Chains A and B, each alone.
Chain A
Amino acid sequence: MTNKALRRWAPAVALLAAGTLGLTACGSSGGSGSGSGSGGSDADAVQSALTKGGDITVWAWEPTLKQVVADFQTKYPKVHVKLVNAGTGNDQYTALQNAVQAGKGVPDVAQIEYYALSQFALGKSVTDLSSYGAKGLAKTYSPGPWNSVNVNGGVYGLPMDSGPMALFYNKKVFDKYKLPVPTTWDQYLDDARKLHQADPKAYITSDTGDAGMTTSLIWQAGGKPYKVDGTKVSVDFAGDAGTASYTKVWQQLVSEHLLSPVPGWSDQWYKGLGDGTIATLATGAWMPANFSSGVKDASGDWRVAPLPQWQSGQSASAENGGSSLAVMQASGNKALAYAFLQYANQGAGVQTRVKGGAFPATTADLNSQAFLDTPFPYFGGQQANKIFSESAKNVLPGWSYLPYQVYANSVFNDTVGKAYVSSTSLTDGLKAWQDQSVSYGKQQGFSVG
């Protein structure tokens, strides 16, 4: 009986409810309040998700997140976060794209590097966080990372860290062979020769063709091979002056076999960083956390110096890597996922991560005296953040990545990689990379010039 009654009444009730909703919608559409109104309710949803609890899965390789997750769960006992390391960089993106394509096993939150975020945003795999109030965070983050998470008018992630570059060098090795800490890349080349001559097993650095490092060094040299304006894209390594400065020095390092042929992030690589056979590493300021977790044995051996310059007397820098945390479109609990993002990248999680050796993207933390004065026991007590912060200020403006940089980077070793194992020159390799990036862009419907 009651069932029957319900069935008879349900449509009427629904109609009534819809009518009221329509009325309120009409009422609020008079002003520009409708957007912020829905934002407010979504923000409330974030708060209630925290008290209600639930399970979320986070895919990330950033080591300091482990502590953040633990603290987050202590603070909100009803929330369970499953932290999964699904690989570093490209490996993780492949797994992520697999999952998105399959529509199954997609995490709620994923770590996505800045260079890759626009591709995921264009592919609609990640959620626009504007409705959760992310639009208003422009002042919270330093401009570089903030620009990177803004794609086509939406905010697709919260910046987790940033990667102003610096030169990490093994002081023990430099002292042993009485090498000067290089201030220019020419001097770096000189050191590379001397070091390898003194100890044929030791190399100045390892490089088997790393798209991220190559583009960052070209960036630092003032190059702008990529120009992006909406769907208009151009790629030009051949006529780019910064690229020419890079290849001039790097070609000699490659041709004279001064680079250790050990792929980055492999077991051999960590071993090399530990035993002095890889003497320097030019990379982003997020590296210290990886040093203290992956190369424990060499604690105290390493120091940080400003990045060598392409022209002496300058102080140019570039960003390398740096990641955001993004909420996946397929997430079943976006409100809770965003709550985790807020905690990790804006709230108490930031301090936890800074203590673990991460380099923040939040301006408040970057400018705090306590942050700048922090000694790094791993680097023999050096106040490395001063060098990183200085580097962050000197990052050259105007660089942009391709909106399909993940693909471009995946074919880097097919093209530029040839220069590392055959007589092909870096210049020819970069030209081949350019051609492939152009033809892919055309296939994907970009207008490529």
Chain B
Amino acid sequence: MAVLSPRAEAGRSAAGRRRGDGGPAGRRRVAGWGFITPFLVVFALVFLAPIAYSIYLSLFRDQLIGGNHFVGLDNYTQAFQDHAFWSGLSRVGLFLVVQVPIMLGIALLVALALDSGRLYGRDFFRISIFLPYAVPAVVATLMWGFMYGKRFGLVASVNQHLHTSLPDPLSPSWVLASIGNIVTWEFVGYNMLIFYAALRVIPESLYEAAEIDGAGQWRIIAAIKLPAIRGALVIATIFSIIGSFQLFNEPSILKSLAPNAITTYFTPNLYTYSLSFSGQQHNYAATVAIVMGVVTMIVAYVVQLRGMRKEA
């Protein structure tokens, strides 16, 4: 509430001025537009125009026979009945529910461990856990793809030397978990850094006070550290949700190694890509992309609302 009041104050005083005299305020308003126009132009070109163009595209259908014609909301009706789209969406939904908590849990654990100050070689750990984030996703996936290889990869070597029979990480039932593993490896360091930065700004005096009151480390974590970094947790969760819904690089690269396990509609993004470039169904691809964007926005917004309500 305290955050809102200055803005409300400003609004009131502006209204007051507007009531005062019309002349100079009008001139001021024109001057204001002058300042804001360059931004608006860039904003419209870079953000609004592509979205508007996608929506425009989604209302047409371009056929090999018969050419391009207006079809209204037909593409949307098709998307809502499209088995391939829903299976991709539920796959990333599952991915979101399982992989994101694991990844954020590990990241939080590592951040707390680094912050505890009891770790020897803290800087080394911090940099080495962050390092995978600096590896491009394409390279990371290729690297893991080779390790997953059941014939020549790491899995093959483990099976050979330990006489185990690990399941094939690239089989249809395991491939989503394998992708989850790659993504976790890539992004634990990134999330850890967000949490760690948030933890560093908590005033030391709170810890001292807690210690005087006789609180143990677990108590300090539960009562001070976690509530203090809730904002960072919400932000990291929202980023991860968006990341999950946009899953593309990893499945798209692994597809060449596991062509039958990863379908062309494995994730909604991969589906849009296949529609557009194998089937030349650009209009339908735009439709799927818009539906997917709306779904992502809704889910991210709900999570944000929930996160913020707890805070209040």
Most B-side CB within 10 Å, residue of A98, A410, A421, A446:
A421
Asked whether any CB of chain A lies closer than 8 Å to the CB of B263, the reply is yes
A363 to chain B, nearest CB (A): 33
Contact with B along A93-132 (1 / 0, CB 8 A): 0100110010000000000000000010011000000000
Chain B: interface residue total (CB-CB under 8 A): 27
B209 to chain A, nearest CB (A): 60
> Which of B27-35, B124-132, B193-201, B272-280 binds A?
B272-280
Asked whether any CB of chain B lies closer than 8 Å to the CB of A2, the reply is no
Asked whether any CB of chain A lies closer than 8 Å to the CB of B105, the reply is no
Task: Please determine whether B65 and A413 come into contact, CB atoms closer than 8 angstroms.
Answer: no
Asked whether any CB of chain A lies closer than 8 Å to the CB of B63, the reply is yes
Task: Please determine whether B279 and A407 come into contact, CB atoms closer than 8 angstroms.
Answer: yes
B176 to chain A, nearest CB (A): 14
Task: Please determine whether A406 and B65 come into contact, CB atoms closer than 8 angstroms.
Answer: no
Total inter-chain residue pairs, C-beta < 8 Å: 74
B75 to chain A, nearest CB (A): 10
Task: Please determine whether A231 and B260 come into contact, CB atoms closer than 8 angstroms.
Answer: no
Task: Please determine whether B65 and A444 come into contact, CB atoms closer than 8 angstroms.
Answer: yes
- Which of B64, B260, B261, B277 has a CB less than 8 Å from the CB of A97? B277
Task: Please determine whether A403 and B257 come into contact, CB atoms closer than 8 angstroms.
Answer: no
Contacts A97-B277, A98-B277, A410-B274 given; does A208 touch B260 at CB 8 Å: yes
- For residue A414, which residues in chain B have a CB less than 8 angstroms away from its CB? 263-265
Asked whether any CB of chain A lies closer than 8 Å to the CB of B256, the reply is yes
A336 to chain B, nearest CB (A): 28
Asked whether any CB of chain A lies closer than 8 Å to the CB of B282, the reply is yes
* Chain B residue nearest in CB terms to A429: B260
Asked whether any CB of chain A lies closer than 8 Å to the CB of B281, the reply is yes
* Chain B residue nearest in CB terms to A420: B260
Asked whether any CB of chain B lies closer than 8 Å to the CB of A32, the reply is no
Contact with B along A412-437 (1 / 0, CB 8 A): 01100110111000000000000000
Task: Please determine whether B260 and A407 come into contact, CB atoms closer than 8 angstroms.
Answer: no
A410 to B298, CA, bound (A): 32
Contacts A94-B277, A444-B65 given; does A268 touch B149 at CB 8 Å: yes
- For residue A413, which residues in chain B have a CB less than 8 angstroms away from its CB? 259-260, 263-264
- For residue A440, which residues in chain B have a CB less than 8 angstroms away from its CB? 279
Contacts A266-B256, A268-B149 given; does A421 touch B261 at CB 8 Å: yes
> Which 5 A-B pairs have CB atoms at the shortest separation, nearest pair first?
A445-B65, A417-B260, A410-B278, A445-B63, A445-B66
In the complex, 12 of the A-B residue pairs with CB atoms within 8 angstroms, ordered by the A residue number, are A122-B64, A123-B64, A123-B280, A263-B256, A266-B256, A404-B64, A406-B278, A411-B278, A418-B260, A443-B63, A446-B64, A446-B65
A residues at B contact (CB < 8 Å): 90, 94, 97-98, 101, 119, 122-123, 208-209, 231, 261-263, 266, 268, 271, 403-404, 406-407, 410-411, 413-414, 417-418, 420-422, 440, 443-446
